[in-house]
Structures are given as C-alpha cells and as structure tokens.
Amino acid sequence: MALLDTFSPKKSIQGNDVCRFDYPEVFVLILSVILLAIHFDFSPTSMALLIVVCLPSLMILIYNFRRQKSFWTSNIVIILLSVVIGSIQLCPIISLSLAALIGLRIIISSPENHLKLISVAVVTVIIFYYVSVILNSVEIDCHTNWITPIILLATMLVILCHFRHIYREYVHYEARAEQVVGRLSTMVSVINKLTRFIPPQVWEPIVKADSPVTVVNKRAKLTIMFSDIVGFTELSDSLSADNLADILNTYMHCMTLIANKHGAVLDKFIGDGMVCFFGEPNSRGPRQDALDCVAMAIDMRREMRTLRQKWRLMGFEGLYIRIGITTGYCHVGNFGSNNRLSYTLIGKEANLASRLEAVAGKGEIYISESTHDYIAHDFDCEYAGAFPLKGFDDKVSAWKVLDPDENKGKLSKWVDHTLPGFNLHLNFRDMQDNDYQDIRSRLNLALARIEQEEKSAAIEIDAASKKERHHHK
C-alpha cells in the first residue's frame, strides 16, 4: 500500500500552501521513455523523445507539489502521453495503455474541458505519428521485449491508484454530506421554532431573498387593530395559574389562526391583548386592508362566542372580546439596535386604536372615522358617539361594527342564549351535514327531559296547593 500511496493523488494540506502530487501518469511517462531509450540503445530519436517528455514531466512534478491541479497541467500531461503514443507509431498494447491514462485524465477533468482535451490528444497523436514515420524509415518493434508488460503494469497501477483515490473521496464526501444533512436538519428545526416568534410576513422575504436585516423603517398607511378580553383581569384573581394559562393560550391560539387566515401581521401579545395590522410589508391597498382587518375582527368576535361557551361549561363566565380599529399613517419596520431588532409600528394612529379598544364594550368593535370611510359600503355600522380619549385634544368619533348575522332573524348563522341553568350555543357555520341528525336527537332528548321536569314541577305545585287548602280547612 505504500507504493499506492506514493502514486495516488493527494489532497491539499490545510493550513499551508503545499499540494501533493495529482498526476501519477508522469511516472509512467518517465518510465516509458527511459525504457524506450534503453531498448533502442539511446538512438537520436529515443534521446529526443526522452528529453521532450522527461523535462516537462519533471517540471510538472515540481510544480504540482506547490500548486493545485489545473486545466493547463492536465492538458500538458495529455499532450505528453499523446507524444509518446504517436512516437512509438501506435504500438498496440503500449498505445492502448497510455490511451487509457488519457481517457481517465479526461474523465476526471471538468466536463466543460472534455472536448478540448480530446481534440488536443488526437491532433498530437497524429502529428507525432507522422513525424516518427518520417524520421524512422523502419517500423518500431515493441512486441517482443519486456517494455510492453512493464508499461502495462505501471499503467494498471496508476489507474488503480486513481480509482482508489476517487473511492476515498467518495467516502469522504459521503461522510461530509451526512454531517451537512444533519446540521441542515438541525438548522431547519431551529428556524421552524424561531419563526413562531416572528410574523411570516417578516421572515419569509428575509429567507427567500437573503436580504440584510438592519435598523430600517418607513412611513406607511396601515389599518391597526387592538383587542383584549373583557373581564379577564377580574377572572385572573379567582383562577389558578394553570387554568389562567390554559384559557389565555387557547384564546391566543384561535385568534392567531384567524389573523394568519386574513393575512394580518401579528405584531405582539400584550397580556390578554393582541396587536395586528395590515398594510406592510404586503399591502392590497388602503381600502382592502381596512376591509380585511374588519372582516378579521368580526371572525374573532364570532370565535369568541364559541370559546365563551366552552369556558361556561368549565365554570368561567363573562369573557368577551373588545376591539379597536383605525386607519392612518405610522412608522413601521425594524426598531432597536443591530444586535436586537423588533418589527413593529409606532405612531399616533396606533395609540388611537388602543384608545378605541379601551372604550368599546363587551363584544363590540369600534372603528375610527378613517376606517369607517373605507368599509361603510361593505359592513353595517352604527354611530357610537364622540369620545374624549387620552392623548387627543378633541373628541374622537367612533362607529360600532355590527355582526352581519345580528339582524337576519331566522337566517342568522348563530343562536346564543343563556339563562341560569341553561346554555344554548349553535354555530351553523361550523356544522357539517352529518351533524344535524345528532344535534336534532340531542335537542329532542333535552326537550323531552324539559317536558318531564315541567310535569314533575306541576305535580309538585298541585300537591303543595292541595296540602295548603287542606290545612286551611
């Protein structure tokens, strides 16, 4: 194996500029011309061939110990091999042996150089064949001596070394590939976890465009929504930390899904509240942004009905959502330092949305005049009045967004009625076709039970009345 290691191509050594030999064909070249010179008693032709081949070969040997392999070095090696093939007048076995080295050298070279190297090899062989025929009036005999097996053996060793080197590189790259795949999987897993803390509208352009992230912001027209849970603060005083966290996480999960569905940028959670906005980094126009925001708010209010019914069954009463929305110019973008950035918005309009949310009642959506101008033709609204708001000199007019189902009567998609000991919540939007039969049977069972209890109560009342009359007699 020491001999194979000597002839086999080596990789460059990291940490210095030394590069070991990458062209073991040179040893075959030198060996071939030396044997030919000895065989032909150092004739002028063999000596010329020896000089023409050995000097460049030695230069390549010295050069490649200091530098990486290149196209030009490979080209020279192929030319020298072709010179020998042509000079020996295409002696079959030796020529095929050296041609195999040429073919292997071409294969392991860059694909864009294959045609160039083949052309150079063919032209060189033809030229030196005719030169040899002209200079030597007799045919060179290389069939009946020991040159052929030696050169053939040396060629086979070099080819074996090349394949051994290629195999070792394959194993090395395969191991590296497994490491890279493992690291990539880890990075993807970490990125997937980190993206949960960042709105997709923010991280997707960064990942896809590989753009730099710096402290930069701009003035843009946004539609901003503030929301929170009415009664959550009072409820938190009477609940355990586990129940409180469960309610809050369930609420935020459902509202986040709705925000993502409508394409909102979820800016932040503030306790039991959340801040969303439309208009950056992707805007569909101020009017459409306002429409999308109001539609999202209505869906959140509807979802809160479903959540409130679940919480009622758990013993948690009185949880409602309230929302404030406005449209106007704010500064939005990356705020902070180069070490810690936050994608958020700053401006008077954001404060206005927060103040509108604070004056809204249970289950109410308050919008400013600017938002109302955009959405009035698509949603039913009711003037709520003018309110003195903190931070604003003049009273601010607000409109209440009505639920599209609120005035539809029998066509409403919601039935929600609560009495002591009675909770009825029907959400026809979420019902499936196969649910109706089950709902009907349960309602019939409940109705039968109500009739039974009503009869029992009537009998008890009648018995009590008779007993009271008998007592008076």
CA neighbor of 16 nearest in space, from 61, 63, 68: 68
Q: Which pLDDT band holds residue 11 (cuts at 50, 70, 90)?
A: very low
pLDDT for res 132: 80
Do residues 453 and 334 share a domain?
Answer: no
Handedness of CA 171, 173, 176, 177 (dihedral sign): negative
- Domain assignment of residue 191, yes or no: no
Do residues 159 and 223 share a domain?
Answer: no
pLDDT averaged over every residue in the chain:
81
Do residues 417 and 458 share a domain?
Answer: no
pLDDT of 1 above 60:
no
Q: Which pLDDT band holds residue 201 (cuts at 50, 70, 90)?
A: low
Do residues 62 and 100 share a domain?
Answer: yes
- Domain assignment of residue 458, yes or no: yes
Do residues 49 and 75 share a domain?
Answer: yes
Number of domains in the chain: 3
Do residues 170 and 230 share a domain?
Answer: no
Least confident of 12-16, 148-152, 172-176, 366-370: 12-16
Do residues 417 and 319 share a domain?
Answer: yes
Per-residue pLDDT tens over the stretch 261-302: 998 988 888 888 899 999 888 888 899 999 999 999 999 998
Do residues 100 and 152 share a domain?
Answer: yes
Q: Which of 179, 199, 229 is the last residue of a domain?
A: 179
- Domain assignment of residue 209, yes or no: no
- Report the CATH number at residue 415: 3.30.70.1230
Do residues 395 and 266 share a domain?
Answer: yes
Domain hosting 451: range is 434-473
The residue type of 257 is L
Rounded to whole angstroms, the Cα distance separating 78 from 337 reads 59
- Domain assignment of residue 99, yes or no: yes
- Domain assignment of residue 207, yes or no: no
* 158 within 8 A of 22, measured Cβ to Cβ: no
- Domain assignment of residue 197, yes or no: no
Q: Which of 397, 414, 430 is the last residue of a domain?
A: 430
pLDDT of 32 above 80:
yes
What does the pLDDT average to over 312-326? 83
Entry pTM: 0.55
- Domain assignment of residue 185, yes or no: no
Stronger pLDDT, 381 or 49, i.e. the higher one: 381
Do residues 416 and 311 share a domain?
Answer: yes
Do residues 249 and 136 share a domain?
Answer: no
Q: Which pLDDT band holds residue 421 (cuts at 50, 70, 90)?
A: low
The residue type of 132 is S
Do residues 157 and 49 share a domain?
Answer: yes
